[in-house]
Amino acid sequence: MVLVVRSAMISGTEGPVESDQIEADLARMVDESTRTSPTEVLELLDLMCELLRAKAARFYVADYSLRRLQQIDGRGPVGPPQAVAGTLIGRVFTSGQIQMVRTDPTVVLVPLAEGSSPIGILELDFEVWDGPAPQLLDAIVAVFVMAWIVKGRYTDTADRARRSEPLSAASEVQWDLLPPLACSTEQVALGGILEPAYEIGGDSFDYAFDASRLDFAIVDAIGRGMSAVLMSAAAINSLRNSRRARFSISAAYDNADRAIAAQFGDSYFVTGLIGTLDLQGGTLTWINAGHVLPMLVRNGTYAGPLLCTPSVPFGLGGPVREVAEQALQPGDRVLFYTDGITEARSTDGSFFGDDQLSDLLVRASLENLPVQETVRHLADSIISFSSVGLRDDATMLLMEYRPPKRPRADPEERW
C-alpha cells in the first residue's frame, strides 16, 4: 500500500533540523502507530502535535458522496459536516495541495490520501510555522494515514465517519465491494464514483494493476436494492476470480455468465464492460456484455464512442461476439459509465443524455481537471440536473492514459 500526502512547497522555514532528531521523531511516530489499538488511532493526533510542535490538530473524513467533510475525534463526530463546495477546506481536499492561513494561530490544512484516493483533511494550528514542522510533516502525516487505513480494518470507526446520512444495507454491501475510488501512476490515472452514494443498488466497478497491464470492469445488474447488489457482487467476484487465475477476458466473460445464470436463473442478468489496458503499448482490449459504449476524449475533443459488437449480458448465455481493441494516445481519456448517467431526468422529463455528458467531459479535459475531480464534477452535474432524484444508479469509471516517456535519442547516435 502506497500512502502519500500531496503537498506544495511552503516557504518561511528557518533552516534544517538535525537529521538525527528527525529520524528519532519519525521512528517514534512509526512505533506508536504500530502499537496503538484500532480504537485508539485518533490518539496519534496528540503525538503528531507534539512532534510537529503544533498547538492542536483536527481530523476531517470525506463522506461517501465526497461532498462533505466530517470532523471526528476519539468520541465520534464533532459538529455538523462541512460542505466541500465553496469552502477553503473543500478546496484543499479537491486540489490536493497544502494551504497555510496566516492567522493567530497559523492554520495549515493538509490533504490526506490513500495512494491517489482522497480520504480527508488534517488541520494543524501553529504559533510559528518553522523548525521541524515543515520537514517532518509529510512523513509524520503519511504514517498517520497508514495507521488509519490499516487499523480501520478492525473497527467501524472509519466507516461510521464516512456517512453523513443513513446508508442503505444494499449500499453497505456495494461500498465494501469497491476498490479505492482513485488511483494514479506514471502510466494511467483512474477515478470512479457511484450515485446515489447512500442508496446505490446494482452498479459497481473494479480494477487491478499488474506489472504491465491494468484490468478493469464496470457492471450494472438488473433491478435495484439488495437483489441487484447480490448479482453485481457475484459478477465482480467471478471476474476477480478469473483475473487472479490469469484467464483471458473471454474466459472471464464465460465464467461470469455461468455464475449469474447458476445463482439467479435465466430471468436475471448483468450488463458490463470488462477489459485490459497494456500500460506500455496503450492497447485497450475489451468485451461489451450488453452495456452502453464508453466515450473517448482525444486532444480536447470528443472522438465518439468506442465501438464493440455487444455480446449478451452476463447470465443470458451466449458466445463472445467481439473482443475489441483500441490504440490509445498520450492524454486520451476513456469514460466507462452506466445508463443511469445519461437517463437521469430533469423535472420537465428531459434526459441528461450523451451530448451533455460528452460536452462536460471535454470541458474537464480542456481545463486539465484531474481525473478524480472530473468524475466528481460530472456526478455533481447529474445530481443537480436530476433535482427529483436519480431513478437509476449512476456510476462512472474514468481512465486517462499516460504512456511512459521514452528517453531521448543520443544526438551522436546514427542509424
Rounded-to-integer distance, Cα 135 and Cα 52, Å: 9
The pTM for the full model equals: 0.88
Is residue 409, in this structure, part of any structural domain at all?
Answer: no
Q: Do 133 and 228 share a structural domain?
A: no
Is residue 373, in this structure, part of any structural domain at all?
Answer: yes
User: Would you state the pLDDT for residue 103?
Assistant: 82
Rounded-to-integer distance, Cα 281 and Cα 260, Å: 33
Work out the pLDDT band at 406, boundaries 50, 70, 90: low
Main-chain phi, psi angles of 411, to 5 degrees:
-60, -20
Structural domains of the chain, count: 2
pLDDT in tens, 95-152: 999 999 988 899 999 999 988 899 999 999 999 887 667 888 999 999 999 999 999 9
| Nine cell digits for residue 199 | 442508496
Of 135, 161, 187, the domain-final residue: 161
3-class secondary-structure state, position 138: helix
Q: Do 215 and 66 share a structural domain?
A: no
| Nine cell digits for residue 397 | 469509471
User: Would you state the pLDDT for residue 7?
Assistant: 43
Question: How many whole angstroms from its chain centre is CA 398?
Answer: 10
Is residue 101, in this structure, part of any structural domain at all?
Answer: yes
Is residue 123, in this structure, part of any structural domain at all?
Answer: yes
User: Taking residues 58-85, what's their average pLDDT?
Assistant: 94
Of 161, 195, 225, the domain-final residue: 161
Q: Do 280 and 236 share a structural domain?
A: yes
* More confident position, 237 or 211: 237
Rounded-to-integer distance, Cα 187 and Cα 108, Å: 32
Work out the pLDDT band at 374, boundaries 50, 70, 90: very high
Host domain of residue 230: 169-401
User: Would you state the pLDDT for residue 404?
Assistant: 63
User: Would you state the pLDDT for residue 250?
Assistant: 98
Q: Do 308 and 201 share a structural domain?
A: yes
The yes-or-no verdict on residue 6 having pLDDT over 50 is no
What is the CATH number for 310?
A: 3.60.40.10
What is the CATH number for 48?
A: 3.30.450.40
Q: Do 333 and 195 share a structural domain?
A: yes
Q: Do 235 and 308 share a structural domain?
A: yes
Rounded-to-integer distance, Cα 99 and Cα 406, Å: 35
Name the average pLDDT for the chain. 89
User: Taking residues 367-371, what's their average pLDDT?
Assistant: 92
3-class secondary-structure state, position 256: helix
Residue 36: CB atoms within 10 A of its CB come to 16
Q: Do 336 and 392 share a structural domain?
A: yes
Is residue 412, in this structure, part of any structural domain at all?
Answer: no
The yes-or-no verdict on residue 60 having pLDDT over 70 is yes
Q: Do 176 and 148 share a structural domain?
A: no
pLDDT in tens, 145-196: 999 999 999 999 989 999 999 999 999 999 999 999 999 999 999 999 998 8
The yes-or-no verdict on residue 389 having pLDDT over 80 is no
The yes-or-no verdict on residue 340 having pLDDT over 70 is yes
Is residue 9, in this structure, part of any structural domain at all?
Answer: no
pLDDT in tens, 261-302: 999 988 899 999 999 999 999 999 999 999 999 999 999 999
Q: Do 208 and 153 share a structural domain?
A: no
User: Would you state the pLDDT for residue 405?
Assistant: 62
Is residue 13, in this structure, part of any structural domain at all?
Answer: no
Q: Do 252 and 156 share a structural domain?
A: no
User: Taking residues 193-208, what's their average pLDDT?
Assistant: 91
Of 145, 161, 177, the domain-final residue: 161
Q: Do 186 and 78 share a structural domain?
A: no
Is residue 414, in this structure, part of any structural domain at all?
Answer: no
Q: How far is CA 342 from CA 214, 217, 309, in A?
A: 26, 19, 20
Work out the pLDDT band at 387, boundaries 50, 70, 90: low
221: β partners: 270
Q: Do 377 and 236 share a structural domain?
A: yes
Rounded-to-integer distance, Cα 320 and Cα 323, Å: 7
Rounded-to-integer distance, Cα 148 and Cα 341, Å: 33
| Nine cell digits for residue 136 | 517532518
| Nine cell digits for residue 87 | 469552502
